Amino acid sequence: MRLKFYLLIPFLLFFLKIGFTQNLEETNYPTNISSRSFLDRTEFKVSYFGNTFWNNGLVFGTEYLWKEKQKTKNRKRGQRTNTHQFLLNGNLGFTTNFSTKTDTGIFTNYGVTWRRTNKKGKQFSITVNPLGYYRSFLPETYEVKGDQVDKVFLPGRGYYAPSISVGIGKQRKGKKLTGRFFNINFMLRTPYNAGALPAFNFQYGYRFNFKKKKRDAKNN
């Protein structure tokens, strides 16, 4: 019974797609971004990072536009064009529990962001950062080996810390701050104790760039 149900699902999805996309056409136009300068393709971002109750911190990051294409769909209500971008991104962050200072750390991660922007500037993005490193910083720490007790210099531990973020945002054309975003971030710290430690955090922040104003005005 369960097997039949699983077999039915792909067919249902197929018919659903046929039904909703009758008479609809989709066209993809890769955007030529190679002519844009490095600064034009680069944006910076700063955001709050934490879960408000326990950990709070800041993240600074940068994004570099790698690929972009315009996707136009002919809907019954008219044409809809979305911009799809792939961006290379890197971040450097700091987080702490102000109450006990037992969970303080800095982290850095690198990966790829896929972002869709509609004509109203509303954005949806997924970021995968497979390369990540978290370094915890502990208060006064003493190491015990046998009967020997020594104070540890710069106590803390390093963890491999990949992360995934899913979020929404809004493009702000012609503004100094070119966009704002809200992400939910999932980061794994491993090896942590006898396994790995999952952590969920919110990210709310702004993007900005150093594009030349005149060109911006012309483009917008």
Question: Under the rule (CB under 8 A), what is the footprint of another protein?
Answer: 51, 53-55, 97, 99-103, 136, 138-144, 147, 149, 152, 155, 157, 191-195, 197-200
Give bridge partners of residue 160 from the DSSP assignment. Answer: 133, 190
The answer to whether residues 183 and 203 touch, using CB atoms and an 8 Å cutoff, is yes
Whichever of 147 and 213 has its CB closer to another protein, that residue is 147
Minimum distance from residue 143 beta carbon to another protein (Å) = 4
Smallest separation, CB 196 to another protein (Å): 9
Nearest to another protein of 76, 151 (CB atom): 151
Query: How far is it, in rounded angstroms, from Cα 68 to Cα 30?
Result: 6
How far from chain centre, in Å, is Cα 22? 34
We find the least distance from the C-beta atom of residue 182 to another protein, in angstroms, to be 20
Residue with tokens 């209500």: 77
Rounded to an integer, what distance in angstroms lies between the CA atom of residue 5 and that of residue 7? 5
Q: Given the complex with another protein, which of 139 and 174 has the nearer CB atom?
A: 139
- The C-alpha atoms of residue 92 and residue 180 are separated, in whole angstroms, by 18
- Nearer to another protein by Cβ, of 130 and 198: the residue is 198
Separation of alpha carbons 209 and 178, rounded Å: 7
DSSP states of 35-65 as a string?
TS-TTTTEEEEEEEEE-SSS-EEEEEEEEEE
CB of 152 to another protein, least distance (A): 6
Closest CB 193 distance from another protein, rounded Å: 5
In terms of CB distance, is 56 or 82 closer to another protein? 56
